[in-house]
């Protein structure tokens, strides 16, 4: 998925279970992993998510595959077709039910299951904690570099099914039943290829990253996962009673470096930044207010300079906040306001020349910074991994992260031997957002991103809307 070549099969609903042995002295905590990839690509294989580091601890790891793109997130309004959407999320729930029924055979404790995921996997984790379908299936959750409030988690409903069918040769009316029948006659491979061509240039300009993703389902069934807008779901969820941990990397926006490098016009088209305002905000703004907010955003990141190739890094910093950090902050804030269980916050900030494999693949060896996905290299071994020496800073970070993650999974508290000199406390109130900063050394600090979140991004919302 990092090399712009895709392979796959419609026969994809598998999961992997990893355990040191099948008969431990007592049942082990279970950690269920959901991979990222923008709901478009991804895999649960050992090529990308090998559990070697986790196997140093007493946990059982489960990695879950789920349907992607149009095959996983096609949504049609006609209830007679039974395609309301979110099939990919329902696959994940099916895996969690399988864990409840079968994990004891692998030495796992079905009453101690932590769901965790990164990017779209992090957003999926958050979505599932807000669904009544999963109460009793999840006992803790770690949401990495995502949340249900990220603008890419819910593409607008822009006739995607009809437009996809047209790309594949459909010439009929924009009616759900004939569209569905046509799409069923097309191979999965053709659908995947055509999906990549559906977005218009105007949609790309407004930072719509893909067509098919989670939706508020248009009608209710016994399997409904997302019944209301995320901000509404967050107000009253069973998951307020379980510990959760949120976090991200210190330069998430490097993810978009290849896109901007390939197409510099992306920067030239930014203009006054009104197209970069949060999606849920823009819908309700009159034209003049949108213009003013856009100019505020431009001033905060570019000052009086234009958004162009020379200022690419400023644009990528803005993307860090728009696509990731402000939605992560809002999700954690909602928990602090509503939840009776602890909410922890971490920030991955280890800038390694050798081990930050996602940055190296996407941006080259000369780029520095901690890209979206770089933290994965420190919890999973993969084909991208650099072999770190036992006395290296990278190995120290791996050991520390695995200790923190598995301690949280075991007892709902991330404090452990690796950070015994620190007190990693949950967020106490909305005016005291402290995080575990994960670098060559681990430390507790006020979330650095607050310097832009509070005066800039929060100013676009009324306090109750955050």
**Cα 454-291-293 angle, rounded to 5 deg:** 5
pLDDT at 6 over 70: no
Question: Region 17-44: what's the mean pLDDT?
Answer: 96
pLDDT at 98 over 50: yes
Question: Region 187-201: what's the mean pLDDT?
Answer: 95
Q: Is 372 a catalytic residue?
A: yes
Class of domain 15-154+210-251+321-465: alpha beta
Please name the helix (run of DSSP H) or strand (run of DSSP E) that holds residue 228, with its range, or none: none
Predicted pLDDT at 264: 86
Q: Is 217 a catalytic residue?
A: no
Predicted pLDDT at 8: 66
Predicted pLDDT at 280: 87
CA separation for the pair 294, 300 (Å, rounded): 10
CA separation for the pair 319, 288 (Å, rounded): 23
Catalytic residue, chosen from 119, 385, 407, 418, is 119
Predicted pLDDT at 281: 82
Predicted pLDDT at 7: 66
- Cα separations (Å) of 411 from 190, 244, 369? 46, 12, 32
Mean pLDDT taken over the chain = 95
Question: Region 185-202: what's the mean pLDDT?
Answer: 95
Calculated CA dihedral for residues 406, 411, 415, 417, nearest 10 degrees: -60
Alpha helix ranges (H) inside 66-187 = 69-73, 87-102, 120-129, 160-167, 176-184
Tens digit of pLDDT for each residue in 395-418? 999 999 999 999 999 999 999 999
Contact 433, 251 (CB under 8 A): no
Question: Region 227-236: what's the mean pLDDT?
Answer: 94
pLDDT at 4 over 70: no
Q: Is 124 a catalytic residue?
A: no
* Distance in angstroms between the alpha carbons of the first and the last residue of the chain: 34
- Parse the chain into domains and list their residue ranges: 15-154+210-251+321-465
Confidence of residue 249 (pLDDT cuts 50, 70, 90): very high
Q: What percentage of the chain has pLDDT greater than the value 70?
A: 98
Predicted pLDDT at 84: 99
Confidence of residue 95 (pLDDT cuts 50, 70, 90): very high
Predicted pLDDT at 1: 44
Residues with Cβ within 8 Å of 89's Cβ and at least 6 positions away in sequence, in order, are 66, 124, 127, 128, 131, 214, 225, 226
Predicted pLDDT at 322: 98
Catalytic residue, chosen from 126, 326, 372, 381, is 372
pLDDT at 5 over 80: no
Tens digit of pLDDT for each residue in 282-301? 566 888 999 999 999 999 99
Predicted pLDDT at 283: 62
Confidence of residue 379 (pLDDT cuts 50, 70, 90): very high
Tens digit of pLDDT for each residue in 35-69? 999 999 999 999 999 999 999 999 999 999 999 99
pLDDT at 9 over 80: no
Rounded to 5 degrees, what are φ and ψ at 235? -75, -30
SS3 83: coil
pLDDT at 170 over 90: yes
Catalytic residue, chosen from 252, 317, 394, 449, is 252
């Amino acid at each position: 998925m990092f090399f712009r070549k895709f392979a796959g099969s419609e026969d994809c609903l598998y999961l992997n279970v990893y355990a040191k042995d099948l008969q431990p002295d007592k049942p082990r905590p279970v950690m269920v992993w959901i991979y990222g990839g923008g709901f478009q690509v991804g895999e649960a294989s050992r090529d990308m998510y090998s559990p070697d580091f986790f196997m140093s601890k007493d946990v059982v790891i489960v990695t879950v595959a789920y349907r992607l793109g149009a095959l996983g997130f096609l949504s049609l309004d006609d209830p007679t077709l039974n395609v309301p959407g979110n099939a990919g999320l329902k696959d994940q729930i099916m895996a969690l039910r399988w864990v409840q029924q079968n994990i004891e055979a692998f030495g796992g404790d079905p009453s101690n299951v932590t769901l965790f995921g990164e990017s779209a996997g992090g957003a999926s984790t958050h979505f599932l904690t807000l669904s009544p379908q999963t109460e009793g299936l999840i006992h803790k959750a770690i949401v990495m570099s995502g949340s249900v409030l990220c603008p890419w988690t819910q593409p607008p409903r822009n006739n995607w099914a009809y437009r996809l069918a047209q790309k594949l040769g459909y010439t009929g009316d924009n009616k759900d039943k004939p569209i569905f029948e046509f799409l069923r006659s097309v191979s999965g491979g053709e659908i995947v290829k055509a999906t990549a061509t559906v977005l218009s240039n105007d949609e790309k300009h407004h930072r719509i990253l893909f067509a098919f993703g989670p939706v508020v389902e248009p009608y209710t069934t016994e399997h409904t996962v997302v019944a209301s807008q995320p901000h509404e779901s967050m107000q009253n969820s069973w998951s307020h009673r379980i510990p959760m941990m949120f976090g991200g990397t210190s330069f998430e926006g490097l993810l978009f470096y290849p896109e901007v490098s390939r197409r510099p016009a992306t920067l030239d088209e930014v203009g006054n930044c009104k197209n970069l305002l949060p999606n849920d905000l823009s819908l309700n703004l009159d034209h003049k207010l949108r213009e003013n907010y856009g100019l505020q955003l431009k001033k905060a990141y570019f000052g009086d300079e234009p958004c162009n190739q020379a200022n690419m890094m400023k644009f990528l910093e803005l993307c860090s906040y728009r696509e990731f950090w402000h939605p992560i902050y809002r999700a954690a804030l909602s928990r602090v306001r509503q939840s009776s269980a602890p909410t922890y916050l971490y920030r991955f900030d280890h800038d390694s020349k050798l081990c930050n494999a996602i940055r190296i693949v996407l941006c080259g060896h000369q780029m520095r910074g901690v890209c979206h996905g770089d933290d994965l290299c420190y919890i999973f071994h993969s084909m991208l991994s650099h072999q770190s020496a036992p006395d290296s800073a990278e190995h120290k970070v791996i050991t520390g992260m695995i200790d923190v993650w598995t301690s949280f999974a075991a007892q709902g508290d991330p404090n452990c031997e690796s950070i015994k000199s620190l007190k990693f406390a949950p967020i106490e109130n909305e005016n005291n957002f402290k995080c575990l900063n994960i670098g060559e050394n681990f430390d507790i600090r006020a979330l650095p991103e607050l310097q832009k979140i509070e005066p800039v991004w929060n100013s676009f919302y009324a306090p109750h809307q955050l």
